[in-house]
Structure 1
Amino acid sequence: MPLLDSILGPVTRIIDKVIPDPEARDRAKLELLRMENTQELQMLQASLSAIVAEAGSSDPWTSRARPSFLYVIYVLLLWSLPMGLIGAFSPQTAHAIAASMTGYLSGIPEPLYALFGTGYLGYSAMRQWGKARGSDR
C-alpha cells in the first residue's frame, strides 16, 4: 500500500529517536509492521469479498457477468474482420456502418467506459492472482 509505506518510514525514524532502548525499539517496529500487515490484509479481504461472493453465486448471470463482458469485447474486436471485407467491396457501406457505430459509441458516457475498463482489468488481475496463488486453474 503506497499510503502505508509512505507513513511507515517516518514513523520508524520517530521510533528510533523517541525510544532509546534498542530492544524496546525493535518491539515497537515489529508491532508497527504487524499493524500494517493486518490492515493491509483486512483491506484486501474487504475488496475481494464482493468478487468472491459474485463468483460463488448460484445465479448464472452474476457468476458469469465478467466473462460475458469479455466475450462482448471480443465480438466487437472480431467485427473488424467482416468490416474489412465490406470495405473492400463497398467502401460507402463500410463508411456508413462505421459512422453509425461511432455515433452510437460516442453517445455512451465516459464514466461508463472507465467502469468497463476497470472491470476488465480487475477481472484479469484477480484471475492472475488466483492462478499465481494456485486457487484458480
Structure 2
Amino acid sequence: MPEMALFDSIVSPVARIIDKVIPDPEARDRAKLELLKLENSQELELLRASLSPIVAEAASSDPWTSRARPSFLYVIYLMILWALPMGLIGAVSPVTAQAIGRSMAAYLNGIPEPLYALFGTGYLGYSAMRQWGKTRGSDR
C-alpha cells in the first residue's frame, strides 16, 4: 500500500491549495471530486512511475546519492548569497561592481539551457520528496 500513501501525500496538499485558490464552494467541490477520480486513472500511474526514481534515490543508503541534490542546492544558494558582497562592492566602487556583474552575466549566459532545466527539475523533485517525507513522518 505504499502507492496509496504516496497518493494521499499528494492529494492532501493539492486539496488545501484548491481550498485557498477556488472561492466558489461548488467549483471547489467539483475540483476535489476530479482530484479523487484521478486515483484510478492512468494519469496517477504515470505520476507514480515518474516519482519512483526520486523515491528510490531518497531512500538510498549511498551517501553520494542521498546528498547529491542538497549539495547542488547549496552551490546555488551560495551563488545567490554572493549578491550581499556585490552590494558592498557596488557601494564602494560602482564601476568595479558593474564590471563584476557583466562578467558574471556573461558566464551565466554561457551555461547551457538544459543545465538550468536540470537544476529546476532537481530542485522541485527534492522539495517534493522532502515534503512527502515530512507528511509520512520519516523526515524532520
TM-score interval (norm. to shorter):
0.5 to 0.7
What is the Cα deviation at residue 81 of structure 1? 0.5
Alpha-carbon separation, structure 2, partners of 1:117 and 1:72: 14
Q: Is the 8 A contact 2:58 2:129 kept in 1?
A: no
What is the Cα deviation at residue 126 of structure 1? 2.0
Aligned residues: 105
Q: For residues 43-81 of structure 1, what are the alpha-carbon distances to aligned partners after superposition, in whole Å with 9 as ceiling and x for unaligned?
A: 344323312322233332221111112111211111000
Alpha-carbon separation, structure 2, partners of 1:45 and 1:76: 33
Q: Whose Rg is larger? A: 1
Task: Provide the residue aligned with 1:128 in structure 2.
Answer: 131
**Higher relative contact order, chain-length normalized (CA < 8 Å, sep 6+):** 2
- Asked if residue 92 in structure 1 is aligned to residue 78 in structure 2, the reply is no
Q: Supply the RMSD in Å over aligned alpha carbons.
A: 2.5
- Asked if residue 110 in structure 1 is aligned to residue 113 in structure 2, the reply is yes
TM-score (norm 2): 0.63
Task: Provide the residue aligned with 1:101 in structure 2.
Answer: 104
Task: Provide the residue aligned with 1:70 in structure 2.
Answer: 73
Alpha-carbon separation, structure 1, partners of 2:44 and 2:119: 26
Extract unaligned runs of 5+ from structure 1.
1-32
Q: Is the 8 A contact 2:57 2:66 kept in 1?
A: yes
Alpha-carbon separation, structure 1, partners of 2:59 and 2:76: 23
Identity across matched positions, percent: 81
SS in structure 2 of the partner of residue 64 of structure 1: helix
What is the Cα deviation at residue 116 of structure 1? 0.8
